[in-house]
Structure 1
Amino acid sequence: MEASLFWKLVRHEMNLTGDRSKEKKRQFKRGWKIGYALVMLLLFFIGTTLLIKTTDFRLSNTWYFTFGLPYMVFFIGFGHAKREWSNDTLGWWLSLPYSRLALIGAKYVANLIQCLMILAAILVVGFIYVVYIAAITSSFNWPMIGQFMILGCNWMLLIALACPILIGLGQFLAISQYTNLRVITPILWFCFMGLGSMVYWSGGFFESKGNNIYIQFSGDQSVTFFPFSTIFIGFIILGWVLIYFVIRLTAYLIDRKLSL
């Protein structure tokens, strides 16, 4: 398949809206959604400002609010794949003159780009937030801002490295429930959610020199850039290799094992 055609598929996937059945029920315009998002962001700024001024809330504690990001990435992959069934566009999607691997690969790349853009946007908002806090609170200074952003970069980098794995697993789980593998879907859910939990409680296993990114969130440990060990890098590379075969398996399920 030509690269130009593949990227057209990717752009198409990125331009699609969400589940149409849910969209009809909500009947919200795009402007309202943006407005609600801005209101939530404003409430977050106000809430954390009050916490910092009235309690011993530490600046680094703010990153705890992003602990759900790995699950968000997983469900972006899951929802994007499941959308063909929710929108009743499965037949049209499968009728496109491209291989199943190209079709699922376009969704995968589109999701990966979207997730990386979200992570970058969070870092930008984080920088604006920490400059705002430093401006209204005399107890914070530029070195603390630097430490806050380094910690955020470590966390976003960890999620970015895991994005290819999480998205691939989400797509596989979404599509497997419409194939001959649907009988073991509950087991797959249990395994994948358990695997996701391991990312949190095994955090110290992946850091070098005794650094733990989750303890750094609490402010009880000094912040260092990229505290992850070679074991972590090895696990990530292994995960990338395995997810390649998971994507090919997903394409095979669509091609041969789909229950229409």
Structure 2
Amino acid sequence: MDTNALLYLVKDELKRRKSKKDHAKWWLFYLAAGIVLLLAVTAYFADKFRPIGLLFFTFGFPYMAFILTYSMVKREWKNGTLGWWLSLPYSRSTLILSKYAASLCVVFLIFTAAWLATLFFYVYATIWQGSFEVAGLLSFMSGSSVWYLFVFAAIPFMNAFGLFIFIAGQSRLKPLTPLLWMIYGLSGNAIFWLPHEYWNTHIETGSIPFGPYAFAIAVPISVGLAVILLLCSTVTLKKDVVL
């Protein structure tokens, strides 16, 4: 595979995504309003604040990653650029990987921004509580980074799954898509299948429920499934997509 070609396509994908942000000002407005609201709510309930509570929203990130990759490949059909995209002088595998790699870059930036925001709200809430300590912040940074890494471990699979489901839906494999959407829904909620006692214990103690071993197991599984789905997407795009 031509690495330079792949990097060029990834850069082009990111540029195209940036150029389509017609409603960026509105998104910035809602983001700012949301931040102000969160600051107010955090200050009001500061006495009931538990640091681990800041981390549970990250369970929605794999869903976001799925939709992001799904929409990136859908854009070629929606904008009528499918013929142009497929006529580019690159292999189908390179085209698929460029979408996939671009989506990973975007998700990584979102994760990084979310983690920094989490640290900010931790400092903000503990200052309101009057319990802020540098040692506590360092401990939370360490624990939250493990949490974020564990959730991020699902991203390779979810990104590849989003890409494959859309391509399958535009091909002769379309009858399988209801089943694929069911698998998506179940896989996204898999983490909540852990016993309630397990969650309650960690919520009460404020400890992180995931460790290095869980991360070490999750990564190869997620990456392995992603490789399989990317191969399936490439083969489907070559043979079965209905133009």
**Aligned counterparts of 2:15 and 2:200: Cα–Cα separation in 1:** 39
Q: Tell me how large the CA RMSD over aligned residues is.
A: 2.6
Cα 1:234–1:141 shift into 2, 3 Å: closer
Moved over 4 A (4+): 214-217
Find the counterpart in structure 1 of residue 2 from structure 2: 2
Aligned to 1:207: none
Q: Which residue of 2 aligns with 1:222?
A: 207
Tell me the matched-pair count.
243
TM-score by length of 2: 0.88
Asked whether 1:48 is paired with 2:42, we answer yes
Q: Name the structure 2 match of 1:34.
A: 28
Preserved contact between residue 61 and residue 217 of structure 1 (Cα < 8 Å): no
Amino acid at match of 1:136: W
Sequence identity percentage: 28
Does the 8 Å contact 1:216/1:223 carry over to 2?
Answer: no
| Cα drift, residue 216 of structure 1 | 7.2
In structure 2, relative to structure 1, the CA distance for the partners of 1:87 and 1:219 (3 Å cut) is farther
- When residues 217 and 19 of structure 1 are mapped into structure 2, their CA distance, relative to the original with a 3 A threshold, is farther
Instruction: Give the letter for the 1:256 counterpart.
Output: K
Q: Give the match for residue 245 of structure 1.
A: 228
TM-score (norm 1): 0.83
Query: Is the contact between residue 147 and residue 223 of structure 1 (CA under 8 Å) also seen in structure 2?
Result: no
What are the equivalent positions in structure 2 for 1:184-223 lying under 5 Å apart? 184-202=176-194, 214-215=199-200, 218-223=203-208
Could you say what secondary structure the match of 1:180 adopts? coil
Q: Tell whether the 8 Å contact from 2:156 to 2:223 is kept in structure 1 after alignment.
A: yes
- Conserved 8 A contact 1:19-1:83: no
1:85 paired residue number: 77
Alpha-carbon separation, structure 2, partners of 1:239 and 1:217: 25
Preserved contact between residue 172 and residue 240 of structure 2 (Cα < 8 Å)? yes
1:4-23 alignment to 2 at 5 Å?
4-17=4-17
1:13 alignment partner, SS class: helix
Aligned residues of 2:46 and 2:128 also touching (Cα < 8 A): no
Q: 1:252 to 1:18 in 2, by over 3 A?
A: farther
**Pairing 1:176–2:149 present:** no
Displacement of 1:104: 0.7
Distance 1:185 1:191, change over 3 A: same
What SS does the corresponding residue of 1:16 show, helix, strand or coil? helix
Q: How does 1:36-115 map to 2 (within 5 A)?
A: 36-53=30-47, 56-115=48-107
The residue aligned with 1:166 is 158
Letter in 2 for 1:220: T
Q: Distance in 1 between matches of 2:152 and 2:111?
A: 8
Q: Give the one of 98, 123, 143 matched to 2:135.
A: 143
d(CA) in 1 for partners of 2:58 and 2:233? 29
Identify the range of structure 1 (94-103 vs 67-76) with the bigger mean alpha-carbon deviation.
67-76
Gaps of 5+ in 2: none
Q: CA 1:4–1:18 in structure 2 vs 1: closer, same or farther (change >3 Å)?
A: closer
